[in-house]
Each structure stands twice: as C-alpha cells, then as structure tokens.
Amino acid sequence: MGNKAVGSASNGSKVGSYKSLDIMMNPKSVAVIGASNNPDKVGHIILQNYLDEGYGGKIYPINNKSEGSILGLRAYKSIRDVKAQIDLAVVAIPAQAVPAAIRDCGVAGVKSAIVVSGGFAEVGNVKLQEEMMSIARKFSIPIIGPNCLGVTDPKSRVNTMFLPSFKIDKPKVGGVSFASQSGAVGSSIFDLIAHEGFGLAKFISYGNAADIDEVDIIEYLANDKDTKVIVFYLEGVKRGREFFEAAKRASQVKPTVIIKGGITEEGAQAAHSHTASLAGSYEAYEAMFRQAGFAIAKDMQELLDYAKIFDTQPLTTGNRIAIITNGGGTGVIATDAIYQNGLSLATLSKESNAALRKVMPPIVNIRQPLDMAGDADDKRFAAALSTISADPNVDAIIVIALFQTPGADSRVAATISHYNGVIKKPLVVVSIGGSYTEVHKNMLESTGVPVYSSPGAAARSLAALINYSKYRKGVL
C-alpha cells in the first residue's frame, strides 16, 4: 500500500484519529504515571515490562509520593517535573485522580496517553470519564482507554500491559494484529497466539473507547505495513456508519477476523457493564460484518483458527478440496466436514490417479479421500503431496497426519513443512492426539503450517479463507 492511507473519519468530540496510534506504538519516550517499587501495583508491572522488553527509548517513572528512584530509574513526583519531551504517558492510578493527571500531561506537552485505570463509564461513572476527555480535548491529547490494557508492539518493544511477564507467553514478531475491547479477552488471545506459534504485529486493548475507538483502530491496522491479518474482539460500535465504511476499506487490503461479544440480550447487558459499550442487535452487526467481508468467528478458538490460516496460506477462490490421510475414518469425517461448510471433494485427474497408483502399495485405493493406510511413512506422504498439489483439479489440500501410527514421525512433519513452503495452494493439517502429537504439531506450526485438532475446524477455516478470497476478487 505504500504511504497511501486507507481512510479516516472525523468526529468533533474526538481528539485522536488512526494516525494518533503511530506515536503510541512507536514512542521515543514514555512516562508511567503511578510507577511504583511495590510489585503488587499495576504501575510497577507496566514499568517492569518496559524494562524486560528492552525498550530503547527514555522511561520516566512518575509517583507523587516517590523520592529517589523506581526500579533503578530516576523518579519524578509530577510529569511536569520532567524537562524533556514525552511522547506517551501510561496512566495507572485511581480513577478519581486521572483527570488531574491528564491536565498535568497537557501542561507538560505530552503527545498522547493510555489510561489503563478502570472506574469510569463502565461502572456508571460517566461524568468522570467526560471530565477526563474535556481536559484531553483542551490540550489535544489523544487517549486510549480508560479501562484497558493499552498496546503492545513486539517490534518497537512497547508494552503497556499490566500482566506479569512470567504469567503470559510472549508471541514472536509476526503479521497478525489483534484489537480487543476487552482486556481479559485480549490477554487470553495474546497468550494463545504465542502458544499456537504464529507471530504478532500489534496488540491494542482500548476498553471504554472514550476517544480512540474501533474505527480509528481498524484504519490504523489497515494502513500498518507490519499487519498482514486483522483480528478483532468487539462488544459494540459507537460510530456505526463510519465503522462500516472503514471495515470495507480494510477488507479490500487485508483479511479481518472478528468475534462479537454480547450477541444475546444477557450478553449485551454484560458488555455494557464491562466496557460501557452499546452492544446493539447482533443480527444487524452480523449483516454489517458479512457485507464488509469479515470472517466471523463464533468463539475464541475459531478466532485463532481463522487467524492462522489467513496468516500462513495463499488466497484461493476454488473450493475443490483434496484429502490425504493415514487414517480412513478421519478421512470420512473430513469429507463430511468440507461439504457441511459449502466446499466439495476434489476429483483427481486421470494423470494423478495413474501416478499415485505407481507409488502407492496395492492396499491403497486410489480415490478421494486418499487413505494411504496406517503404515504410511514420509515417502508415501511426499508422493501424495507431490502429485496432488500439482493437479489442476485441486484448489486446496487437507492433510490428516495421525502421529500414533507406525510410519508417522518427525520425517512426516518435515515432509509436510517442505511442501507447504513450495506449493502455491492452501494446505492445512489435521492432527489429533496427545503429547507426541503436540510435539509434531509445534514442529509444523513453527514452519508456518496451520494445524487443527479436528477436520471440522480445518474445513471451517478453509471455507473462511475461500469466502474472503471471493470477496477480494468480487466474486461474492
């Protein structure tokens, strides 16, 4: 996309825009208001995370009761005492003290702020939240929050999350960016992204969205050169029309996976008390998401399933799926799954059937799904992948690798990884089992092979990829 922006929206009551997130993600200097030497304090954890990440900019601990240093850094009683430009203030103090802190930030010329503190509109304290924003508007300070985890950028080593680093896995640098209205959902997905083995570009938890909201965030991620896939947990939208237009623009350049919280009446009420969000009619949201080309996930596991196929596999509008398996029953279940998700079983060409007949033992029936028998080894997997990936009648491949069988070992995983790297068609793996299987699943996913724990999950993910591909090409 180069430097061309996908779009921006304006709102007279707002300070920030999608461009404001640039300085929050890449600040040259950060002040932590509420920093503390007490390890139980949120401000301590945030400051410690910056140090642990190896953040290269200037860090200024702020504590109005502090003397001397905090975690080895010179501490200040007020941000106004810092005689240097501050790009980002991370505010982690009781809610009642936040407006005064934002005023101090304004006087000090701070460029942006993230308010992680809770106790605002989500608990009915709307007046306090508006007081904070009134001050922010006066001084033109864009704000993320309140009631949020803030942001993480593994590349710039910015991390405002108040979660101890030993309690959460750290994702590697990658192409998936995740935005979440909920800090709890956000931290869980953040942890799971690391566990699943794919990389993170950006993480944004924005809470009550008093200023920076979902419209700004999706526009920022659509324009972010490091983001390949956008993943979103959403409870409600304040600027519906602008969000819809921004979503359509984003989908023209990047796949977006979304999960909506508050789809029932009871869930909507819970969402309002959680982030002061107006959840609204789920049917209306679902229609908007589909028109915008989003992949809609029904739960957090599906969210991850979709994210990793978009992150690792090429787009395709074809729905002819070939199945390669070393377990007949799972091949049957996979066949059901692809048809249940609107896909179809590929019919191999005569040339492919003849080539497979030459290399497969007599006990193997040359048909789809291709059951290579329980003793299939890496050579048999390689022969099947080589022939089937080259077949013009095949649009995508599901490989079922059951590592409990005699012939399946690390060489099978290496073979699948090799073909995933050279073929130009989507390839997904289904592997079901315990600790031995988990070792090989990790091997595969570390090389960019998406692995699923059921044929249904693999088929749904392929269907999401194909549907988005059709949207991009104007087929839908």
**SS3 labels along 104-152:** HHHHHCCCCEEECCCCCHHHCCHHHHHHHHHHHHHHCCCEECCCCCEEE
Mean pLDDT of the chain: 91
Length of the chain: 476
Ordered by where they begin, the domains of the chain are 20-309 (3.40.50.261), 315-472 (3.40.50.261)
What is the helix (H) or strand (E) element at residue 383, kind and residue range?
helix 378-389
Tokens coding 166: 């030993």
Kindly state the average pLDDT of the residues 157-168: 82
Confidence (pLDDT) at 8: 37
Count the neighbouring beta carbons within 10 Å of the beta carbon of residue 347: 14
**Using an 8 Å Cβ cutoff, are 150 and 118 in contact?**
no
The rounded distance, in Å, linking the Cα atoms of 40 and 242 is: 41
Band of the pLDDT at 162, cuts 50, 70, 90? confident
Kindly state the average pLDDT of the residues 442-460: 96
What count of Cα atoms within 13 Å lies in the side-chain half-sphere of residue 386? 11
Confidence (pLDDT) at 320: 98
Amino acid letter for position 134: S
The rounded distance, in Å, linking the Cα atoms of 181 and 231 is: 12
At 166-200, the pLDDT tens digits run: 777 778 899 999 999 988 888 888 888 877 778 99
Band of the pLDDT at 2, cuts 50, 70, 90? very low
* Position with higher pLDDT, 348 vs 262: 348
**Using an 8 Å Cβ cutoff, are 448 and 442 in contact?**
no
Whole-prediction pTM? 0.89
The rounded distance, in Å, linking the Cα atoms of 363 and 113 is: 67
**Using an 8 Å Cβ cutoff, are 267 and 279 in contact?**
yes
* Position with higher pLDDT, 245 vs 67: 245
Kindly state the average pLDDT of the residues 423-450: 96
At 4-47, the pLDDT tens digits run: 344 433 344 789 899 999 999 999 999 999 999 999 999 999 99
At 321-334, the pLDDT tens digits run: 999 999 999 999 99
Instruction: Report the percentage of the chain scoring pLDDT > 70.
Output: 93
Band of the pLDDT at 113, cuts 50, 70, 90? very high
